Amino acid sequence: MTLRELIGRLAAWRRREELDRELTDELQEHLTLLEEEYEREGLSPAEARAAAHRRLGHLASTRAESRDAWGFPALERRLQDLRYALRGLRRSPGFTVAAILTLALGIGANAAMFAVLDRVMFRPYPLLRDPSTVNRVYLQTTFQGRRSTNTVFPYTRFADLQRETQSFSHYAAVSEWRFAVGRGDDTRVRKVAGVSAAFFGFFDAAPVHGRYFTASEDALPLGTTVAVISAAFWRREFGGDDVVGRQLKVGSLDYRIVGVAPADFVGTVSGEPPEVFVPITTIAANLGPYSRDTYWLDYRWDWVEMLVRRKPGVSVEAANADLTQAYVRSRAQARELNPRVMADSLVQPRGLAGPVKTAAGPERGDDATVLLWVSGVAIVVLLIACASVANLMVARLLQRRREVSIRLALGVSRRRLLAQFIAESLLLSALGLAAGLVFAQWSGTLIRALLLPEGSAFNLAQDARTFAVGIALVLLTTLLTALGPMVIAGRGELGAMLRGGGRDGAARRSRVRSALLVFQVALSVVLLIGAGLFVRSFGAARALPLGYDAGPVVEAVLDARGESLGDEQQAQLQRQMLEAAEAIPGVEAATTMNTRLFRSNTADLWVPGVDSVASLGRFNFQLGSPSYFQVMRIAIIRGRGFDASDRQGSVRVAIVSEAMAERLWPDREALGQCLHVSLGDGGPAIGAPCTTVVGIAGNTRQQALVDDDPMLTYYLVAEQFAPGALLPIALRLRTSDPTAHVERIRAALTRAMPGDGLAVVRPMQEMVDNQSSAWRLGATLFTMFGGLALLVASVGLYGVISYDVTTRAHELGLRRALGAQAGDVLRLVVGQGLRVTALGVIVGALLALGASRWVEPLLFRVRATDPVTYAAVLGTMLAVALVASLVPARRALGADPMQALRGE
């Protein structure tokens, strides 16, 4: 269409009514002239009139065709179709509400899942400039076929990679921490990001006040203590005052605020945005003199993440090769300090410039995998919803066959009829999207709690990307739901059905509907089996004997915030804090510990008579005070636990786990054996004094929930091995609900700390729960979606059978009149429902078996072909089908057989 024609059409469309009048007059005039012509040729007036009409053709259709030149006929017809569809939907509110709700569940679930996936995996960070050229650095090693990928490494490695690569224009080191920020009552633990000065250059984000810190303030070995605060922090804590130049205590150091970042700036974190940004070269100093003096020299401490921007024209492959070479050189450097760094030929080191979001990276973790699975599940739910709505639409088409046949007789083309089906589907889908977004937003709290890192924003209404996906989903559902009517209409069955009235079309149309139903039942079965498998995995993970009881225990991490204390004073503080903890009402016992749950600490270990302890496994140590075993409820199987006599200066003693005793001394008594332990400060273990094994403890899952190997644990007396440290404290409460007491304990312990020091307290069970989060996530979401699918499928089943019973009322009545018993009719109707369901169940079970290979790695101690789960799901489905077909069957029995006879 040329521009000129467009303008012409627009102009004509604006005065189309006037044009229509003129055209009518004109055609009338033409008719008159034709009549006159025929009369001149000798026809009678009546004959002339008839002939003229024949010539001009159907006046109305000539007019209609002429009108097509004005405006945009195709568009107008679509609008007409939509109006027609709207009228139709309004006439049957029951169908409309059912269809919209069903689609809303499907579309809403998918929109919500996309919103989550997008945040976790795809969406670039706000304000990040040219995101396609920004990468996170991943370092990979493959040892004995097992690949491990690291995104966190020593600062020294970051410096090496920066020095040794040429592919990148920008480099930044990033590290997230939770530090106490502020002084006195305003002190709170907040997220603090240590970043390189170059970090800000990755973004288009000018500070709203002041400036960012500079490279000279972020210099080795010790950066300047300057800080940039987030806009949210600035507004909330400072009321938006001029803060540049003010002091802010972050962790153990005093910082000077130099700027305020803009509102959307979150850096590259997931979840809760950082509130303070400080030079990464000040982080180590914040943690203590040892890290401050060594972090830039040795390779012992993994704590830095690395962002790079590729130079223009540098491909990812070239960058990977460059990084790999630099990594190899950096490992050579590390080997000079520590000869035990393994040879490159053994571990095949590789550097990768990968996605900034780790969930999209080479090792995405179980949570992200489950998330992808659940997104697949959401799509299945959508398919079930579409099948269900398509089924409803076919039923509706059959109910409206009189109307449809009249329209066909009036010359409405088959294409136009199809266009109207599609318009109806489109309208339903669009309304489904609207309802679905409301539903998704409404369940947003749940979704956020389950799926997103703590503190993530989740607002679907303002999210253009989710909305765009929603529109795409609407188009998809429109096509899928219009498919049912289209198959019928397209196969020319419509005419046959219309001619046949109600009775003999029944068999054929129910084949389409039964197929849809089998599809629904099959997919529901797949989802329910998935739900069952995850529920059982979650149950198995929860039922694992942990070897300890974290339920009523809280842990308190003590932070002296840079109060410089000597070793003796620190030891005294530790004792005071332990006493303060024991004095808190409701506390049964308290102990120090150095290794928090699911962290791991290893020391240099030498055992006489054992060649290489390291080759036997990874031995973790735990430091504790005498009541450690009482607090954690770890069983002492033989020998003794710690007691009050195990103090600083007394004979060094250790307690080892059963697994460790078995591994080190397989055919000897472990009690009385010697361990030589060096915690890193006292030279090699071989020269360390003997630590006597005095007890054997039960095995525990303290390092990992599901991996059996880390049950190699030994316990040492904190006072004997780390007399000058301020260790976390674990408190056992006399309550089953420790959460309610967290605040009270935090306040009491913080009061007991000197200066700006504070305690951070949380229930230990949280950490146990986090370990099984992937299964809990899977179990919750699969169950939710599986339940939805079951509901939708049973409603669909009920709808189909009840519709069939209605159309067969006559036949069933006749059967009764001719002597069929109630039981026969019941069997007939229920049997039909069960047959369809059984077919769906079989197909579903086969699909699930086919997918079992991929689910297996996500499960825990449950086979993907678990017969219990399969039996339970199949039983449930058949029971639901039985109920769904019994209800209409009973209604069929209620019909009066005499009525059917009279109708014959």
- Residue 5 carries which DSSP code? H
Under the binding rule (CB under 8 A), the answer on residue 26 touching other proteins is yes
Q: Which is nearer to other proteins, 24 or 569 (CB)?
A: 24
Under the binding rule (CB under 8 A), the answer on residue 8 touching other proteins is yes
- Residue 203 carries which DSSP code? B
For other proteins, which stretch binds (CB under 8 A), given 66-74, 344-352, 448-456, 847-855?
66-74
Under a CB-based contact definition with an 8 Å cutoff, are residues 296 and 279 in contact? no
- 485 upstream amide cis, omega within 30 of 0: no
Q: Which is nearer to other proteins, 37 or 298 (CB)?
A: 37
- Closest approach, Cβ 521 to other proteins, in A, equals 51
Under the binding rule (CB under 8 A), the answer on residue 55 touching other proteins is yes
Among 39, 43, 49, 67, binds other proteins (CB under 8 A): 67
- What's the token pair of residue 338? 């520590």
**Three-state SS at 195:** strand
- Cβ neighbours around 865 below 10 Å, total: 15
Q: Which is nearer to other proteins, 29 or 568 (CB)?
A: 29
In the chain, the N- to C-terminal Cα span, in Å, equals: 61
In whole angstroms, what is the distance from residue 630 CA to residue 621 CA? 18
In whole angstroms, what is the distance from residue 430 CA to residue 181 CA? 48
Under the binding rule (CB under 8 A), the answer on residue 5 touching other proteins is yes
Closest CA to 554 of 353, 745, 375, 390: 745
Enumerate residues 6+ apart whose C-beta is below 8 A from 103.
385, 386, 389, 428, 429, 431, 432, 433, 435, 436, 477, 481
State the pairing for strand pair 713-717/653-657. Answer: antiparallel
- Closest approach, Cβ 32 to other proteins, in A, equals 8
Per the listing, tokens 């006159």 go with: 36
Closest CA to 527 of 860, 109, 99, 238: 109
For other proteins, which stretch binds (CB under 8 A), given 28-36, 299-307, 569-577, 586-594?
28-36
Q: 733: part of which helix (H) or strand (E)?
A: strand 729-733
Q: Which of residues 629-648 bind other proteins (CB under 8 A)?
A: none
Q: Which is nearer to other proteins, 11 or 846 (CB)?
A: 11
- Closest approach, Cβ 435 to other proteins, in A, equals 42
For residue 740, with 0-12 CB atoms within 10 Å meaning exposed, 13-18 middle and 19 or more buried, which class applies? exposed
- What's the token pair of residue 367? 């949570």
Among 43, 50, 51, 69, binds other proteins (CB under 8 A): 69
- Closest approach, Cβ 40 to other proteins, in A, equals 12
For other proteins, which stretch binds (CB under 8 A), given 24-32, 211-219, 477-485, 699-707?
24-32
Give bridge partners of residue 761 from the DSSP assignment.
556
Q: Using CB under 8 A, count the residues that bind other proteins.
A: 27
Under the binding rule (CB under 8 A), the answer on residue 70 touching other proteins is yes
Under the binding rule (CB under 8 A), the answer on residue 4 touching other proteins is yes
In whole angstroms, what is the distance from residue 105 CA to residue 97 CA? 12
Under the binding rule (CB under 8 A), the answer on residue 896 touching other proteins is no
What would the x/- binding string for other proteins be over residues 513 to 532, using CB under 8 A? --------------------
For other proteins, which stretch binds (CB under 8 A), given 60-68, 98-106, 156-164, 415-423?
60-68
- Closest approach, Cβ 43 to other proteins, in A, equals 17
- Residue 122 carries which DSSP code? I
Among 14, 33, 492, 614, binds other proteins (CB under 8 A): 33
Q: Which is nearer to other proteins, 36 or 454 (CB)?
A: 36
Amino acid at residue number 141: T
In whole angstroms, what is the distance from residue 793 CA to residue 391 CA? 11
For other proteins, which stretch binds (CB under 8 A), given 54-62, 159-167, 648-656, 829-837?
54-62
- Closest approach, Cβ 515 to other proteins, in A, equals 41
Under the binding rule (CB under 8 A), the answer on residue 856 touching other proteins is no
- Closest approach, Cβ 26 to other proteins, in A, equals 5
Under the binding rule (CB under 8 A), the answer on residue 187 touching other proteins is no
**Three-state SS at 98:** helix
For other proteins, which stretch binds (CB under 8 A), given 8-16, 348-356, 592-600, 627-635?
8-16
Closest CA to 793 of 840, 761, 830: 840
**DSSP letter string, 832-879:** HHHHHHHHHHHHHHHHHHHHHHHHGGG-SSS-TT-HHHHHHHHHHHHH
State the angle between helix axes of 365-399 and 773-807 in degrees (0 to 180), rounded to the nearest 10: 10
- Closest approach, Cβ 62 to other proteins, in A, equals 5
Q: Which is nearer to other proteins, 56 or 893 (CB)?
A: 56
- Closest approach, Cβ 29 to other proteins, in A, equals 6
Q: Which is nearer to other proteins, 20 or 363 (CB)?
A: 20
**DSSP letter string, 369-410:** HHHHHHHHHHHHHHHHHHHHHHHHHHHHHHHTHHHHHHHHHT
- Closest approach, Cβ 57 to other proteins, in A, equals 3
Q: Which is nearer to other proteins, 72 or 84 (CB)?
A: 72
Enumerate residues 6+ apart whose C-beta is below 8 A from 823.
none
Q: Which is nearer to other proteins, 60 or 410 (CB)?
A: 60
Under the binding rule (CB under 8 A), the answer on residue 18 touching other proteins is no
Closest CA to 659 of 710, 596, 614, 612: 710
Amino acid at residue number 264: D
Instruction: State the sign of the Cα–Cα–Cα–Cα dihedral 354, 357, 360, 365.
Output: positive
Among 18, 29, 204, 824, binds other proteins (CB under 8 A): 29
- Residue 2 carries which DSSP code? -
Q: Which is nearer to other proteins, 3 or 343 (CB)?
A: 3
The angle at the Cα of 355, spanning 321 to 169, to the nearest 5 degrees, equals 60
Q: Which is nearer to other proteins, 37 or 582 (CB)?
A: 37
Q: Which of residues 400-459 bind other proteins (CB under 8 A)?
A: none
Under the binding rule (CB under 8 A), the answer on residue 231 touching other proteins is no
Among 15, 18, 21, 22, binds other proteins (CB under 8 A): 22
What would the x/- binding string for other proteins be over residues 34 to 53, using CB under 8 A? x-------------------
In whole angstroms, what is the distance from residue 904 CA to residue 901 CA? 5
- Phi and psi dihedrals of 228, rounded to 5? -110, 135
In whole angstroms, what is the distance from residue 602 CA to residue 677 CA? 10
- What's the token pair of residue 277? 């940004």
Under the binding rule (CB under 8 A), the answer on residue 24 touching other proteins is no
Q: Which is nearer to other proteins, 52 or 877 (CB)?
A: 52
- Cβ neighbours around 701 below 10 Å, total: 21
- Closest approach, Cβ 413 to other proteins, in A, equals 16
The angle at the Cα of 216, spanning 214 to 220, to the nearest 5 degrees, equals 125
Q: Which is nearer to other proteins, 60 or 343 (CB)?
A: 60
For other proteins, which stretch binds (CB under 8 A), given 64-72, 283-291, 384-392, 423-431?
64-72
For other proteins, which stretch binds (CB under 8 A), given 65-73, 351-359, 582-590, 827-835?
65-73
Among 39, 43, 66, 73, binds other proteins (CB under 8 A): 66
Under the binding rule (CB under 8 A), the answer on residue 399 touching other proteins is no
- Closest approach, Cβ 408 to other proteins, in A, equals 23
- Closest approach, Cβ 21 to other proteins, in A, equals 12
Under the binding rule (CB under 8 A), the answer on residue 62 touching other proteins is yes
- Closest approach, Cβ 63 to other proteins, in A, equals 8
Binding residues for other proteins, rule: CB under 8 A, are: 2, 4-5, 8-9, 12, 22-23, 26-27, 29-30, 33-34, 55-58, 61-63, 65-70
